[in-house]
Amino acid sequence: MFDGKAAIVTGSTSGIGLSIATAFARQGADVILNGFGDPDAIERTRADLAAETGVTVLHSAADMSKPAEIAALIGLAESAFGRLDILVNNAGIQHVAPVEEFPAEKWDLVIAINLTAAFHTIRAAIPLMKRQGWGRIINTASAHALVASPYKSAYVAAKHGIAGLTKTVALEVARDGITVNAIAPGYVWTPLVEKQIPDTMKARGMTETEVKEQVLLAAQPTKAFVTVDEIAGLAVYLASDAARSITGTILPVDGGWTAQ
Ligand code: NAD
């Protein structure tokens, strides 16, 4: 479906981003992976995906909290492929604490990676997409772009911000063949969710099972975690020509969470 196209997926060495990048590569797009982790494991992932799909797969360790590194990431698509068709802003971190104890430097980091990074990638990517007369920008938001939960002030603020950025940019590029949408997952079982369990146990004085059942899946009527493949399936659809009239939307994939 995407032969000859080039995609960047930020935060794609793990979890949702890796699943989205894999799906785009399987549909024929050249892909730049981005994110942190063990260098050998990342290289294995990159080489395996390239071997399986036959597309070019690169990795950039650009830090999404650093504007100069973000500019270099977009520049890599231009220098390696001469184009950028699909941009997925997916890198994200979480920090869980009551607002009055929330470390200021954690607030800054969550806002930088989960929100400001998307501003920097988008502003650099749009001239390339306008030149092509075609582009797809997909932001991984969250159910927390639509509703809040306690102890996640920075994350909820960043994700609500991503929703606003998505709508605003969609309006600005509506006549340029570029769509801008956000996917709003409920709880997806990834390292990001796994890592926040100890802090939530501490903040709420709960056991691990209580956190899973009463905090995480309490909000999700299906009582099942969303899978990374379900998110990737929607990303592929949003990037397809069939979705050309879908723009400026925040699409929940949340087992009914935000229907309540
Ligand atoms: P994850 O921890 O598995 O993956 C996060 C990715 O971001 C990793 O590749 C990591 O290396 C990368 N990353 C972190 N900091 C970075 C930085 N400074 N620069 C570049 N890359 C960086 O998490 P995930 O659950 O797959 O989350 C991906 C996105 O999905 C995030 O934006 C998250 O907020 C969102 N999301 C997740 C869930 C969920 O339940 N897992 C729900 C809703 C939204």
Mutate-to-test residue for ligand 1 from 38, 60, 70, 93, highest number of ligand atoms within 8 A of CB: 93
The pLDDT tens digits of the residues spanning 46-98 come to 999 999 999 999 999 999 999 999 999 999 999 999 999 999 999 999 999 99
Q: Which two tokens stand for residue 5?
A: 């196209």
Over pLDDT 70: what percentage of the chain? 100
Q: Is 151 an active-site residue? A: no
Give me the half-sphere count of Cα atoms (radius 13 Å) on the Cβ side of residue 240. 11
For the chain, the first-to-last Cα distance in angstroms comes to 36
Average of per-residue pLDDT across 24-53:
98
Tokens 């063990």 sit at which residue? 38
> What residue owns the CA closest to ligand 1's atom 41?
188
Q: Regarding the domain delimited by 6-186+226-259, which CATH topology (the fold level of the hierarchy) does it fall under?
A: Rossmann fold (3.40.50)
The pLDDT tens digits of the residues spanning 194-210 come to 888 899 999 999 999 88
pLDDT computed for residue 229 by the predictor? 97
The pocket around ligand 1, CB under 6 angstroms, is made up of 10-17, 34-37, 63-65, 90-93, 113-114, 140, 142, 185, 187-188, 190-193
Helix (H, G, I), strand (E, B) or coil at 58: strand
State yes or no: pLDDT of 192 exceeds 80: no
pLDDT-derived band at 191, boundaries 50, 70, 90: confident
State yes or no: pLDDT of 214 exceeds 90: no
Q: What is the DSSP letter of 258?
A: G
The pLDDT tens digits of the residues spanning 221-235 come to 998 899 999 999 999
DSSP letters spanning 122-173: HHHHHHHHHHHT-EEEEEE--GGGTS--TT-HHHHHHHHHHHHHHHHHHHHT
Quote the ligand 1 centre to 44 CA distance (angstroms).
Answer: 20
Quote the ligand 1 centre to 175 CA distance (angstroms).
Answer: 31
Ligand 1 atom nearest the C-alpha of 89 is: 32
Helix axes of 15-26 and 228-239: crossing angle, nearest 10 degrees: 50
Do residues 184 and 140 touch, judged by C-beta distance below 8 A?
Answer: no
Quote the ligand 1 centre to 210 CA distance (angstroms).
Answer: 24
Ligand 1 atom nearest the C-alpha of 185 is: 43
Residues in Cβ contact with 252 at an 8 Å cutoff, skipping those fewer than 6 apart: 143, 146, 184, 185, 186, 258
pLDDT computed for residue 224 by the predictor? 87
Quote the ligand 1 centre to 192 CA distance (angstroms).
Answer: 6
Residues in Cβ contact with 79 at an 8 Å cutoff, skipping those fewer than 6 apart: none
In the beta sheet, which residues pair with residue 185?
253
How far is the C-alpha of 247 from the C-alpha of 233, rounded, in Å? 17
